[in-house]
Each structure stands twice: as C-alpha cells, then as structure tokens.
Copies of this chain bind each other. A is one copy, B any other.
Amino acid sequence: MREPDSLHGSTVDLAAACADVLERVRAHAPRVHCITNAVAQSFTANVLLAAGARPSMTISPEEVGAFTASADALLVNLGTFDADRREATDTAIEVATEEDLPWVLDPVLIDRSPPRATYASALVKRGPRAVRLNHAEFAALAGAEPQAETLRRYALDALTVIGLTGETDVVTDGARLATIRNGHALMARVTAMGCVASALVAACLAVERDGWLATTAALLALGVAGEGAAAHARGPGSFAAEILDALYRLDRDTLVARAKVQ
C-alpha cells in the first residue's frame, strides 16, 4: 500500500466517497443513453443494469434527441465510426449541452484510424464531463505518452476529466489525481471491457456532479468487481458473466475493504 494522498484525505475516505456514488446509482436508477458500437451494446446494457442504471441504445437520428433529453447522462463511444452514429452523436451532444446533462467520450481505437482521432479531438472541444481511454488512445489524442504530467495538462486544457485505464487506472481533472490498482488481467480478454467502463462512468456522472469522483467511483467499482470475478472464473467466458454478478452484488464494505485507490 502507498501513502494516502493528502489532497483527498485517506484512501478509505476516497473509497467511501466512491461507495456513496454507487449507492446513489442504485437508489436513483439513472437513465443512460448510449451511442456505442454494436460489439459493445449488449454487454454495456448488461453492465448498466447490473449496476442499477437504465440503459437505452438507439442511434436513429429521428429519436436520439428525445432519448437523450429524457436521460440523465450520455455515453458517446466511437467504436463504430459510421455516418449514422456521427449524426446521432451530433444531435445527442447538442441536446445534452442544452439540458446540462453530463456526457462521456470513449475514443475507441483512435490509434488505429486517423480520421477517427481527428473526430475525437473535435468532440473533446464540445465539453465531455469525462474522457475514458487506454494508453494508446491517450497518446493518439494528446500527442504525448500518458504520464501524470501529460494527463494533468490535457485535462486542464480540455476542461475535462481523464480516466486512463490499464494495469493501473489514473483519474485526473488536472488538479486532483487518483490511482486505482484494482482489476485483473482477464479484463483485457473480454471484448468491450473499456467500453463498459465508460458506460459506468456515465452512470456515476448522472448522480455525482464532481466528474473526478464519479469517474474514480466507476473505475474502482469495475476493478473491484473484476477481482471478485476472477476468483470464480475459469477463463474469459465465465469471467464475463462473473463480473456482472460481482458488480450486481458489490456492497459498500467489500468496495472499501478491497479498494486500492489513492
């Protein structure tokens, strides 16, 4: 264990604050509208339901506005970068901005596709409350390797929260920086695990205005659930089911006891 971070009080306090956020998700069952890729849709909906949120998924340009307007948070995932989803995204962000709804950007695989990276940069300018990504995606977005300093600077410049996932997760709004050392290697063997992390961030943002705390709560919950799942799993197939079960059953005491966050 590292030393507690003096900025945020003890590790236990931060974990307890995260547990509060998750309890509010269960209590309020926020509606999360998800513009996401077809690979991730089903698992994303199931993760949100397991956590106590209510997902919707339409990308039809004719109705994405109404769905977003009646939602509590929005997820914009670039995993399939097609014309329909771009049009839906434009409408949904417009509505979210008007309604002051928080939204999360997940710039999936922008390191593999220059036009997608350009599009992601344009979306960052439209004010996501948080951006959840991995190392290669951050490098493609920020033009710099992800380190404490580059993450902080990007978050400050973009006025957003960066939630970087990997062996260690890092969450920063430029001022504060949390590190989460939970999770399990099997999480990288299940498709869309990053996508569902972003969806969980959206659910937490729906009930917590502090984007840094909401993002930390989401990534911590998924990491602790992943460890619980790995204890029962025999491989990535059973792990995918177990992590839903673990998230569904995750209680305050377990979260606080297992949290490796600071």
Binding site for B on A (CB under 8 A): 37-43, 45-46, 49-50, 55-60, 62-63, 66-67, 70, 79-84, 109, 112-116, 188-192, 233-238, 240-249
- List the B side residues contacting A192 at CB < 8 Å: 42, 45
Please provide the 4 A-B residue pairs with the shortest distance between their CB atoms, ordered closest to farther.
A235-B245, A237-B244, A237-B241, A45-B191
Complex CA distance for A41 and B240, rounded to whole angstroms: 15
In the complex the two chains form, is B248's CB within 8 Å of A63's CB?
A: no
- Oligomeric state, in number of copies? 3
- List the B side residues contacting A191 at CB < 8 Å: 42, 45-46, 49, 55
Q: List 8 A-B contacts (CB under 8 A).
A: A38-B38, A42-B192, A59-B82, A63-B112, A235-B249, A236-B245, A237-B242, A237-B244
Complex CA distance for A243 and B104, rounded to whole angstroms: 33
Closest to A65 in B: B113
Known A236-B244, A237-B244, A238-B241: A80·B56 in contact at CB below 8 Å? no
- List the B side residues contacting A116 at CB < 8 Å: 63
What's the minimum C-beta distance from A9 to chain B, rounded to whole angstroms?
32
Complex CA distance for A203 and B142, rounded to whole angstroms: 32
Complex CA distance for A164 and B105, rounded to whole angstroms: 37
In the complex the two chains form, is A240's CB within 8 Å of B46's CB?
A: yes
In the complex the two chains form, is B81's CB within 8 Å of A62's CB?
A: yes
Complex CA distance for A238 and B177, rounded to whole angstroms: 35
Complex CA distance for A248 and B192, rounded to whole angstroms: 17
- List the B side residues contacting A55 at CB < 8 Å: 191
Complex CA distance for A188 and B188, rounded to whole angstroms: 28
Contacts A42-B42, A57-B79 given; 17 further ones with Cβ under 8 A? A38-B57, A39-B45, A42-B191, A49-B190, A49-B236, A58-B113, A62-B81, A66-B114, A67-B112, A67-B113, A189-B248, A234-B249, A235-B245, A236-B244, A237-B245, A238-B241, A238-B245
